Copies of this chain bind each other. A is one copy, B any other.
Amino acid sequence: MHITVWNEFRHEKKNPKVIKVYPDGIHKVIADGLHEHGLTDVGTATLDEPEHGLTDEVLAKTDVLIWWGHMAHDEVKDEIVAKVHQRVLEGMGLIVLHSGHFSKIFKRLMGTTCNLKWREAGEKERFWVMNPAHPIADGLNDHFELEHEEMYGEPFGIPEPDSLVFVSWFAGGDVFRSGCCYYRGQGKVFYFRPGHETFPTYYNKDVRHVLANAVNWAAPTHGPKIPVVNAKVPLEPLPPYED
């Protein structure tokens, strides 16, 4: 299984607070976390590379794409978004993180605004498991927590998830559907909330555990294609029909 971690990689070049936490970029730390879980075939790609690092070759070999973006969603070229979209619908897994809720690719896949509330108060976030039978909850306790995170609050402008795995509690009084699974075409999409750039979220062992589970869940299966087909000949004989 080949995983590509895509990162906008801008905050980590300008913001001293972010540089301190992620000196080599968020993508590097996410990839390290996957390595810990035996997922070793991991590449990275970033916004400022040619084609955002998502060449046809890279997309073709990617089984699961992880997406982190925030301040430069608009700079992601529409043609690259279209290719990622097509690959997801053809089976490539997609894991969208945190502020990626406003990425072009996530909004296109959801069909909704993906709006939400937010608050940067470094408050506690506690993730509660809603669906203990789901593979993404494998090996978890009933909850885990992050001492400091940005808050995201409901209502969150998404379709009802095909499975809701986590809901977050925030100390400041909000809740959020923080782990959402979707089937789209032949592909699987998981939105996972945490990961504000100023907090060491992607070093956290539970977050890494969830990411590894999510990659395994989102890995491509090989169901039938969904083509546009003029099925001229019926599979069964039809009675005569006068047009």
Q: Which residues of A contact B (CB under 8 A)?
A: 17, 89, 91, 108-113, 115-119, 121-124, 126, 128-135, 137-143, 148, 151, 153-157, 159-160, 162-164, 167-175, 177, 182-188, 198, 221-236, 238-239, 241, 243
Contacts and interface: CB of A to CB of B under 8 A. Distances in A.
Contacts of A186: 132-133
A234 B160 contact: no
A126 B185 CA distance: 21
Nearest to A187: B133
A131 B174 contact: no
11 contacts: A17-B243, A112-B185, A113-B228, A121-B234, A126-B235, A132-B186, A133-B186, A137-B224, A155-B224, A167-B177, A174-B231
Given A116-B228, A155-B224, A243 B122 contact: yes
B169 A160 contact: no
Contacts of A140: 223-224
Nearest to A183: B133
Given A111-B109, A184-B111, A230-B119, A173 B235 contact: yes
Determine how many copies of this chain the complex contains.
Answer: 4
Contact of A89 (B112, B154, B184, B231): B112
Interface SS of chain A: helix, strand, loop or mixed? loop
Given A117-B229, A121-B238, A171-B236, 4 more contacts: A133-B188, A160-B183, A167-B177, A172-B238
B89 A234 contact: no
Nearest to A232: B119
A225 B197 CA distance: 28
Among A124, A128, A132, A175, which residue has the most Cβ atoms of chain B within 10 A?
A132
Contacts of A151: 231, 234
Given A223-B138, A228-B115, A229-B117, A175 B132 contact: no
Contact of A234 (B109, B162, B163, B172): B172
A235 B169 CA distance: 11
Nearest to A17: B243
Contacts of A184: 111-112, 133, 159
B122 A223 contact: no
